[in-house]
Amino acid sequence: MLFNSLDFAIFLPLVFICYWFLFRWNLKAQNTLILLASYVFYGWWDWRFLSLIAFSTLIDYLIGIGLGKEENTYKRKLLLTISICINLGFLGFFKYYNFFLDNFIDAFQLLGVPFKASSLKIILPVGISFYTFQTMSYTIDVYRKKLIPTHDWIAFGAYVSFFPQLVAGPIERATNLLPQFSEKRVFDQNKAVDGLRQILWGLFKKMVIADNCAEYVNIIFNQSESLSGSILALGAVLFAFQIYGDFSGYSDIAIGTSRLFGFQLMQNFAFPYFSRDVAEFWRRWHISLSTWFRDYLYIPLGGSRSGLALSIRNTFIIFLVSGFWHGANWTFIIWGALNAVYFLPSLLLGKNRNNLDVVAQESRWPNLRELISMLFTFGLTSFAWIFFRAESMSHAWGYVQNMMQPSLFSIPDFHILEGVISLMVLIVIFILIEWNGRRRQYAIMDLAASRSRMFRWCMYLLIILAIDIFGNTSEEIEFIYFQF
């Protein structure tokens, strides 16, 4: 079920009403409702893969209990290994089997050894990378004794399959989300209104910004061999806004929906395009994944405390794995590597923790230095997005080659992109709203502070109208991160 669908528009109020009117006095009943609703939500896409989530949930639930009882270090390690192998085994099979097979065949052929094997037609279960990492965080935290294992299988099942963030995150740590299933939830008018407001903003980002950018991005990337450098550069910039609007829009809807049910999820995007360097960008982009890799991979590898050489190695590992997590394609690996290269100078100069605060914290507008830093960082990330968006390495390389022509400095021929000017006007308005709200959790959160109900409601109506008029409402377009 998609957030931007009529099905969800009916599903959400129904679950909300049952949750707060029928089951508000019984925590277990509320959790059961969330579990059932989550399975319906996921099964709407393909009910066959419910068994996969159910199995993963059961394994980690039982292993969690086992880890809680077991004191023997060897046996504890064994239990953790079983959990990780099963979770990564599923992920590896469904997501990476064909990639490895194809690359083995290519490698053997390069060596002159004939190697024949046929790839399998595997359907990638939606959101598998997200819920796999979520369940793994539970087992690892129980193993590290940071978390007491739960004996409430309904709460645990609801935690793994929690429908607002099931298919595209934020990847919640068990330490944050699981205890919330054990606490009595009381309806809070302010939280619910705030949730609705964040959902509205998420829908705007997805349907107005991302889906409209997608239209032009598809044209530009599909015809990249025949377009001028300046149009290709515009394509990269539009994709930067598409992926931000799409993914952060999803996160906003997920966080807002959770608030309606009394849950607090972590912030997943903190205005990353206002970052002054790449290190800051990665503290603000897909925060739940970056911090997951930091806590469960980077730090166990030694982090930055084991000398410069190991720090560089660990940085590259993190970025390459992060790229590979997104998809079984060399383009994602190169995207990760490129970001590691971008990150390296600040690591070597010890400046990777320079910009920890919000840009122009005390002023309305950035100074020239900040502005140039932000534009430079945005340029670097937009360039890297080309590899992320391209179908293959040859496509990405061809795109970059065609872009780096003298025509890069020509005025783009907008005739082939009818309507792109109005989209650019919308993007400028969007940037200004985001800039204005950059100190908050999401851009229009400040509206809550406005005392005038008339003003607030006018703003909501304007956003709804913008979604209706400029949003692509004729078809339900999937979120990009569903494929990961």
**Residue nearer to another protein on the CB measure, 272 or 471:** 471
Task: Write out the residues near another protein by the rule CB under 8 A.
Answer: 20, 187, 189, 192-193, 414, 419, 421-422, 425, 457, 460-461, 464-465, 468-471, 473-474
Nearer to another protein, 169 or 195 (CB): 195
CB of 3 to another protein, least distance (A): 17
Q: How far is the CB of 269 from another protein (least distance, A)?
A: 27
Closest distance of CB 40 from another protein, Å: 22
Q: How far is the CB of 211 from another protein (least distance, A)?
A: 13
Looking at the Cβ atoms of 404 and 465, the one nearer to another protein is: 465
Catalytic annotation on 326? yes
CB 194, min distance to another protein, A: 12
Residue in 151, 326, 395, 415 annotated catalytic: 326
Q: How far is the CB of 10 from another protein (least distance, A)?
A: 13
* Least Cβ distance, residue 7 to another protein (angstroms): 14
Asked if residues 217 and 195 have their Cβ atoms less than 8 Å apart, the reply is no
In the block, which residue shows the tokens 């309904």? 154
- Beta carbon nearer to another protein, 20 or 296: 20
Please name the residues in contact with 122: beta carbons below 8 A apart, sequence gap of 6 or more.
93, 94, 97, 98
By beta-carbon proximity to another protein, the closer residue of 302 and 419 is 419
Q: Which amino acid is at 69?
A: K
> Among residues 124 and 464, whose Cβ is nearest to another protein?
464
Name which of 126 and 426 has its Cβ closer to another protein: 426
Q: Could you give the residue numbers annotated as active site?
A: 326
